[in-house]
Structures are given as C-alpha cells and as structure tokens.
Amino acid sequence: MRVASGGSVLPEDLRSRVLERIRPTRLQFSMLGRLYSLVARALEECEDLRLSIPAYRVELVGSAAKGTLLRDKWEVDVFLLLEARREEVRRLGESLLRSCLEGRLPYYFKYSEHPYATVSLMGMQADVVPAPLAVDPRDAVGVERTPFHTRYVRSRLEEKPWLVDDILLFKSFLKGIGVYGAETRVGGFSGYLAEVLIIHYGGFEETVKAASSWRPPVMVDTTGGKADLDMLARRYPDSPIIVPDPVDPSRNTAASVTPKRLAELVHAANIFLRKPSPTFFHALQPGEPCRRTLPGVMVLMSGNYSDHPPDSVWGRLKRLGERLYRATKARGYPALSYSFYTDEALEAAVYIHMESPSRYPIEGRLGPPTWDRERATRFTEKRLGEGGWVWIGDDGRLSGARPYTGSAAGDVERALATLPLPPGTRSYKVVTCPSTGPCGFPSYLEALRDPTPPWLRHVLGGCRS
C-alpha cells in the first residue's frame, strides 16, 4: 500500500488526474495479450525454426510484461530466445523470422544491433527480436539483457505493486520534458532506467526530489553496494550519471544519458518542486504550440532515410548540427545553438539558432611575425589586395582585416560541401530566417526554431494551457 509522505509536493487531485490519463486499460492489456499470442503461436508452430534450432523459448518482455507501459503505447516486445551461439543467431535470425511470419502476420524488418521484425496489426505493434538464450546476464550484450531486466522489475513490483503508478508518473514526466528514451534521437532515460530509479528511491516524488539535487558526476548505487563505482567511473568516463544495472553491476544503465538531458531533468525537477503543474506530464500537455522562434539558418534535406537504421540517421544529423554550429560561430556569426529533426522516411532538417543571420562587415585576421619574411609579405599583400587593413601589434605580430561580403546561407552551403550528410540524403537546400517571425515552414519545422522546451514556456512563460 502506498503511503503519502508529509512533504508531498504533488497534489493528490493532480496525481489522480494524471494517472487517469496514463494508466493502461484492461482492454489495452487484453488486445496486446492477443497480439502476443498470435506472434507466439506463429513462432512456436514454425517448422523451419524447430528444424534449425530445436531448443528455443518465446518470451514477452518490456513494459507490457511488467505492467508499466503508458496508455498511449500499444506495443509489445517479444523475444525469441534461441539456444545457439550469438554468431549463429545473427546469421539465421532474419531468415528464420521471415519463414515463421510469412503468410501468417504482416511484418517488416528493422535493423539495430541485429535484424528484428515488427508485426503491425490493428494499430498495434510487436517487435520480435531473436537473441541467444543466456543463463547469466553477465554473458548478455545489448538488447540480450532485456529478459533479465523484465524479470528483475517484475520481481520487485510483486513485492511493492504500488510502485507501478509511480513508474507511470515518472515515465510521463520524463516524456513530458523531452528526456524519455535511450535512442540516439533523444539521448535520455530509458524505460528500464526510469523503473530502476523509482524502485531505488521508493516513489515518484522521492525520485524527483533526488534528481533536483544531482550534480555531475552523479552516482546512484541501485545494487546495495554490489557495484564497483570506481571501476564504473573509469569504464564510463564521459557519462554524467552512473546507475549500476541491478542485474549486471558492471554495466551503467544510464550510459545513454547525455549531459544535456541530465541537466534538463535536474532543471525540470527543481521547477516542478516549486511549481507542480499538469504540463510536466506528457498526457496533459496543451495541444496548441506555444513558441517564440529565433532567427537563423535552416538546412532542409530530402532522401530515403527509411532505408537506413534510425540511430544512424539521427546520429549523423546531430553531428552535422554540431559542426554547422561551430562553423558558423567560427565565421563570426552570432550562433546560439542548434536543433535537428527527421521523419525517418523522406525529410531531415538542421536549424542553427542565431541572434541574427548576419555579421559585422569586417573580418579580422591574425598574421605571422614580421621576421617570418615570406609569410609576412604574403599576408600583407593579400590583405591590402582585398581592400583591407594591416598593422603590427605590440607583440610584433602582423594583424589584418578585410571587408566581408559573404552570407550566412552561403557560408553554410560551403560548409555542407565538406561535411558528411545523413545516410540516404539525395538533396538539400539552405533557407535563411532573418527575424523572429514565421519563416513559412510547416509547424513541425517551425518548432525547431524555438530552443526553449514547450513545457517550460507553459509552466513559466505565461502561455495559456
């Protein structure tokens, strides 16, 4: 039974209101259970599978198996656990799934660590993942740990079933502030990490209060002292937060969390403790956008992005944004930040936020010392030939300046010619947005032009909810 703490900051009426919107329904569990049964039967009755790998097991894993899925997630994760070596699973996995599902269920393939099938039926999805049947979680890698994670969380929730609601609240909170998801696109907190933190701290409010005081490097020992935190710090030197995996203490469950996402959670937690609001939770956020766009430069790309792993496309987009931001800043533009987007099918975009997509019409250049005769002469001739200026500083080095007639769009175009684009890109164009007003893009692209998270504008920015 859940006991409310004396220092509660989440009003009971708000808690009830949020849970009413995010708890999965009996109908949802029933329909997802039916989907799982259809997939399991197709695999268990598959003759090619029995002939190729006689020993195997079909297992429901993930949030649906734990009872911690949000109401808007009509998805199940199904693992086909094969008693075979990892190399054999990777070699045979795709062909076996195709043989078992063909003609029985509609499916398509995705590619991550290894191929897996997604069965799509009546608005629901089942990800079917072949994996070796591991006995010890320390022998598992990547997604192979998922069955162990599922069993761990289920066992803890059987002891404390009231924590299910707190997990749902925390997942909705993370999703509402934009930090939910371990994929490259987000770089945030996975569903499993959210569950582990709630189990460790004992509730939603306790976890938010703890997060409000985090300061990198954060260490949260969820293993009762079994983890070697010093070893983990050496193994994950770039991780701003380390949360040992309860089923494998040598692994950091929070390895996907970027410094940006950690900082966003800390900031949101502090604001929530001061001003709890329904807007923090994804299911209660206003539908109407509340944004104030910044000037800048948009790179619009088109291509066949569905032919490539989503993490590969998102990762390349992020790196492109970083490099364009640095390039424009180095060219003297008042660049502030960047954002990026893809629909994972045909479109991708990067936006560089700027104070203004223009710069001073003079560009300074540092030259060599005068006693470096050849370089000094070339520098002087070049600057004066450009109609510029040359002078000698107190340190004896030449300095110069020249008129600058370039444009932000032109400089971005030149930078793009030297940078790797997301895989699948066929063409691109560069558009300058000179003011804070609309730039003529669809709403989802205009959203890139505001670096302020929507929840923050609604909670503190005076927007009407």
260 is in an annotated binding site: no
127 is in an annotated binding site: yes
| Residues in the chain, overall count | 465
Please give the structure tokens belonging to residue 205: 């409010």
**Cβ atoms of 108 and 67 closer than 8 Å:** no
Instruction: For residues 396 and 371, give the distance between their C-alpha atoms in angstroms, rounded to a whole number.
Output: 9
| Backbone φ, ψ for residue 301 (5° rounding) | -120, 150
**Cβ atoms of 248 and 231 closer than 8 Å:** no
Kind of pairing between the strands at 124-132 and 75-82: parallel
Instruction: For residues 428 and 300, give the distance between their C-alpha atoms in angstroms, rounded to a whole number.
Output: 5
Instruction: For residues 38 and 27, give the distance between their C-alpha atoms in angstroms, rounded to a whole number.
Output: 17
Please give the structure tokens belonging to residue 87: 């190399």
**Cβ atoms of 351 and 296 closer than 8 Å:** yes
446 is in an annotated binding site: no
75 is in an annotated binding site: yes
What secondary structure does DSSP assign to 57-91, as a single string? EEEEEHHHHHT---TT--EEEEEEEESS-HHHHHH
180 is in an annotated binding site: yes
Of 185, 219, 190, 232, residue with least CA distance to 344: 185
83 is in an annotated binding site: no
424 phi-psi bin (left φ>0, alpha ψ -120 to 50, beta other): left
226 is in an annotated binding site: no
387 phi-psi bin (left φ>0, alpha ψ -120 to 50, beta other): left
Helix (H, G, I), strand (E, B), or coil: what is residue 409?
A: helix
Instruction: For residues 106 and 258, give the distance between their C-alpha atoms in angstroms, rounded to a whole number.
Output: 36
Annotated binding-site residue numbers for CTP: 63, 66, 149, 171, 180
Binding-site positions read 63, 66, 75, 77, 127, 149, 171, 180
Binding site for ATP: what residues are annotated?
63, 66, 149, 171, 180
| Residues tagged in the binding site annotation for Mg(2+) | 75, 77, 127
